[in-house]
Amino acid sequence: QVQLVESGGGLVQAGGSLRLSCAASGRTLSSLAVGWFRQVPGKEREFVAVISWSGNPTYYADSVKGRFTISRDNAKNTVDLQMNSLKPEDTAVYYCAADLALSLVNYNDMGRYEFWGQGTQVTVSS
């Protein structure tokens, strides 16, 4: 089964940047769609960004569009999330998830993703 591990979280001041990485074991990510989600304690987990198995297309939540960029590096077997112009409201635990779908229909539905990482904490101070 696919195992996912997130890294790159930490503490950053508002306006700063962080790069999160999702690494896989068990199989290559090159044939999987990979999404990023985030969750604040007491709130529902929300969609952030997704990238298809081929790298195109990509989709973003309106709240992060223009600030975050999702990309994949098949040589490293990783999917990254570059986060710029961070805001305090971006503070959350960030999770990556993957599935075997060949299309991105319902890409923002958590139920379509079969494999999940354990999350990495991102804290943005004001």
How far is the C-alpha of 28 from the C-alpha of 41, rounded, in Å? 31
How far is the C-alpha of 21 from the C-alpha of 113, rounded, in Å? 18
126 pLDDT band (50/70/90 cuts)?
very high
Whether the pLDDT of residue 31 is over 90: the answer is no
Query: pLDDT value at position 100?
Result: 84
Pull the structure tokens for residue 82: 């570059």
User: What mean pLDDT comes out for the span 39-62?
Assistant: 95
Query: pLDDT value at position 74?
Result: 86
User: What mean pLDDT comes out for the span 81-96?
Assistant: 98
Percent of the chain with pLDDT strictly greater than 90: 79
103 pLDDT band (50/70/90 cuts)?
confident
Whether the pLDDT of residue 83 is over 90: the answer is yes
